[in-house]
Amino acid sequence: MEILGFALRRLLVAVPVLLVSTFLIFLTVAGSGDPLTELRERQPPVPPETITAEEVRLGLNQPVLERYGDWLTGVVRGDFGPSVNRNASIAVEIGTRLGVTMRFVLVAMLVAAVLAILVGVVSAVRQYSWLDYLFTSAGFLFLAMPSFWLAILLKQGGIQFNRATGTETFYMIGDRSVPPPPTFLAQLADVAGHMILPTVTLVLIHFAVWSRFQRSSMLEVLNSDYVRLATAKGLPRRTVLRKYALRTALTPLITVIALDFTAVFAGAVITETVFQWRGMGDYLLSSINARDVNAVMAWLLVAALAVMVFNLVADILYATLDPRIRHVR
């Protein structure tokens, strides 16, 4: 019950923050340019009546605050407003593409977090050993790699591997095959095969950062007085590491992972571009090119909401790992 009350308090704090975020998002995108520029500059000229009708359809003929109120009311109902593309529904596009992106983002974050914890703990426990030097070198190597470059390297490596083996082990384009395989299990295998290289790209980039934080946090905890006291009392080494050291050392890593969600999401945009996925990254870039302001605002709102959800989850994990946090108001 304590954790539930703590989560509700954090949720109440998050609601006004989200409202402020929607207002800032709307002002930023609304002031970024005229979405009808291409229509106004088209040759031969478009009739003024057509431009006026499009302004009314998109709500551009209203004052900014009135447009914001109408947009926010629509968002509450699940309507993100009309798209520049009359044949597209923003809500449907966001729903479809968000599932595509989050599919490999969540898997990548989970795998990267598990690897970071394992590598960070081993590096701290065996400080200055050959394993520590190996993990440190690998970490700095991937830290120095831009995500788009690493994605291109992995894509080229997958192409060479397929050619050398005469198989299609790795998929380079899209999030699934077209047409899809006939059976459900074959479709799952196909989707998993398309996820391998994009997921590995995100895992390597963020695992490198998180493992360094975990190593530093673990070293600090291992040198603390209460861990030394537990060791001096004769407790088994595994018990000291698992019950006293690791639990405390995980809190800073949770902070980093929660704050890094925006970086992972941004890396997913780049990775999707390299592997030509029809996810949130592709939708953002195509919406910007089309000056589709409502689509861009919907994308930013979903990203802001996802960040807040991850921070709320991080707060709950804090309270679980450290009971003292539950009583902080």
Show the tokens assigned to 263: 């970086």
* Burial (0-12, 13-18, 19+ Cβ within 10 Å), 264: buried
Yes or no: say if 30 and 293 are a contact pair by the CB < 8 Å rule.
Answer: yes
Question: Got the DSSP string for 217-249?
Answer: HHHHHHTSHHHHHHHHTT--HHHIIIIIIIHHH
Cα 203 to Cα 209: distance, rounded to the nearest angstrom: 10
Query: For 85-142, how does the pLDDT look when each residue is reduced to its tens digit (9 = 90+)?
Result: 777 788 888 988 888 888 888 899 999 999 999 999 999 988 888 999 999 898 888 8
Sign of the dihedral defined by the CA atoms of residues 228, 234, 237, 240, in that order: negative
HSE-CB for 300 with a 13 A CA cutoff = 19
Q: What pLDDT, on the 0 to 100 scale, is given for residue 119?
A: 93
329 pLDDT above the threshold of 60: no
Provide the whole-model pTM: 0.81
Find all residues with CB under 8 Å of 141, minimum gap 6, and list them: 208
Q: What pLDDT, on the 0 to 100 scale, is given for residue 2?
A: 66
Q: What pLDDT, on the 0 to 100 scale, is given for residue 322?
A: 63
Q: What are phi and psi of 183, to 5 degrees?
A: -105, 160
Tell me what the pLDDT averaged over the chain comes to. Answer: 84
Q: What pLDDT, on the 0 to 100 scale, is given for residue 49?
A: 84
pLDDT band at residue 323 under the 50/70/90 scheme: low
Query: For 190-200, how does the pLDDT look when each residue is reduced to its tens digit (9 = 90+)?
Result: 888 889 999 99
Query: For 222-279, how does the pLDDT look when each residue is reduced to its tens digit (9 = 90+)?
Result: 888 888 888 788 888 788 888 778 878 888 888 888 778 878 888 888 888 889 888 8
CB count within 10 Å of CB 29 equals 21
Length, in residues, of the chain: 329
Q: What pLDDT, on the 0 to 100 scale, is given for residue 242?
A: 80
146 pLDDT above the threshold of 90: no
Question: Can you tell me the mean pLDDT for 292-312?
Answer: 85
Cα 298 to Cα 96: distance, rounded to the nearest angstrom: 13
Find all residues with CB under 8 Å of 108, minimum gap 6, and list them: 198, 199, 202, 203, 206, 264
Query: For 170-184, how does the pLDDT look when each residue is reduced to its tens digit (9 = 90+)?
Result: 888 888 887 888 888
3-class SS of residue 171: coil
Cα 157 to Cα 296: distance, rounded to the nearest angstrom: 34
